[in-house]
Structures are given as structure tokens and as C-alpha cells.
Amino acid sequence: MEQEIALDVKDLRITYKCLKSFSIKQSLLKFKKAKTEVYEAVRGVTFSLPKGEILGIVGKNGSGKSTMLRAIAGIFSPDSGIIDLHGNSVSLLSIGVGFQKKLTGRENILLSGMLLGFSEEQVRGKMDEIVEFANLGKFIDMPVKTYSSGMHSKLAFSITAILEADIILIDEVLSVGDARFKKKSYNKMKELISNKDRTVLIVSHSAQTLKELCTSILWLHDGEMKMLGDTDEVLAAYDDFMSK
């Protein structure tokens, strides 16, 4: 029987446009416009992920891992290429992804949940479970700007983990939080992954985590695909490359 595909990524290209460093004084004097510099962070990435697979993504710093996950999550559009979610819901678990700082944790749960595509009723129905998992005490009713980075990621993790999208994107988040939360989130992650209908993409620098969780690995290098395949094989080649 043919495997059902959860996610197709075809010839994905993502560029960042930044202002070239220039002197404001000079450009004002010469009436020159600041030039933009284009940087291709993801170049021609193509893969298909069957439903239920857990794909690990490795690559040295700056190789395009987070950029690719953010595009798959729909946070920004690629310059070209196709991301086909085959009708699946997707959510990104990442430390850097923003909450509304002036709103409380509880208000952010509602907002984030609805941004993920859940109805207000669905999010309210899961509210107590999310609040309990996040275990932030009185901080849950305080503005997120008062949170430490660990508390921030606890809230982010709890929202994504309890609301359970079809495709979950995890960006290095398992390595943050205090020891107790780390263990709890790791176990929750394993529980989520054990659902055969759920498809997961995990960016991590921990070979041990990837070995334990993943069914295959994609290695990105300078925005391009260097290798895609069996977990042990790709991790061994990557380890060899990084230790040179």
C-alpha cells in the first residue's frame, strides 16, 4: 500500500533582503538610496514526508534550518517553490516565535491557538490543560513581558503540545527550561510522536535526541540539501564532517 504523504516541499528558495551597511550622512549628502543585499538562506530544498514520520534536521549554525521551518509554518512566504501541507494543520514550536508581550499568558494561549487555526471554543476547551501543563503559577495571569525566557518557552511548548496539530515543527525547544520541565516536555513530545498519525520535523543539535526520536534525517548545508536518509547513516556522516 502506498504511504500517505503529509508534507511536500519542492525546490524551496528563501532569501533575506538586508540593507547594505551605509553611512546615513553620506547617503543624505549624495542623495543616494541605500542598497539592499540579497542572501539566499534556503536553496532548492526538496523532500516528501509520509504521515507519521519524524524527520530530524541537522546542519551547522546558519545553514537555513529555522528559516525552512518558519516557511513551512507559514510565518513567511518562500521566494519560490512549493510547500504542500495536504490539508494538514501545522504548528511551530520555537523559542523565538512571538507572543503579544502586553497580554497575559492566558490571553496569549487564546490568541496563539486561534492563529494556529483552532476555534475560540476549541482553545477554551483545552485552556485548563494548557495552563496546568505550563505550570506557571500566578504568572499565567500576568503580561508575558514579565516572563523569563524559560517561562516563555514553557508556555509556547504547552500550547503546541496540548493543541496537537497534525504536523508539529520543533525548533531546538527541547533544550530549554529547567530540568523538571525539560523531562516533562521530552516525555510529552514522545507521547505526541507515538501517535502514528502525527508528522514531526525536529531541528536539534543533539545527536542523542535525534537518534532516539527520528525516523530519518535531513542535513542542510549553506541552505542546500547535503544528505537525506537513514538516521544513523546521516548522523554519522554529519558527525564526521563536523569533527574535521
Ligand X SMILES: Nc1ncnc2c1ncn2[C@@H]1O[C@H](COP(=O)(O)OP(=O)(O)OP(=O)(O)O)[C@@H](O)[C@H]1O
At 189, list the grid cell: 513530545
Piece in contact with ligand X (CB under 6 A), picked from 65-73, 147-155, 184-192, 231-239: 65-73
Residue 198 C-beta: closest distance to ligand X, Å: 23
Piece in contact with ligand X (CB under 6 A), picked from 28-36, 64-72, 95-103, 147-155: 64-72
Rg of the chain's alpha carbons, rounded to an integer? 20
Of 155, 153, 160, the closest CA to residue 192 belongs to 160
How many whole angstroms from its chain centre is CA 12? 16
Task: Establish if 67 lies at the interface with ligand X (CB under 6 A).
Answer: yes
Residue with Cβ nearer ligand X (95 or 103) = 95
At 143, list the grid cell: 503580561
Contacts with ligand X in 13-42 (CB under 6 A)? 16, 18, 39, 41
Rounded alpha-carbon distances, angstroms, from residue 69 to 174, 204, 240? 16, 12, 25
Piece in contact with ligand X (CB under 6 A), picked from 22-30, 59-67, 90-98, 135-143: 59-67
Task: Establish if 94 lies at the interface with ligand X (CB under 6 A).
Answer: no
Residue with Cβ nearer ligand X (63 or 160) = 63
Q: Which of 64, 105, 113, 177 binds ligand X (CB under 6 A)?
A: 64
b/e per residue 186-201 (b: at least 16 CB within 10 A): bebbeebbeeeebbbb
Which 3 state secondary structure label does DSSP give 31?
coil
Residue with Cβ nearer ligand X (3 or 76) = 76
Strand partners, 124: none
Using CB under 6 A as the criterion, which residues of the chain lie in contact with ligand X when the complex forms? 16, 18, 39, 41, 59, 61-67
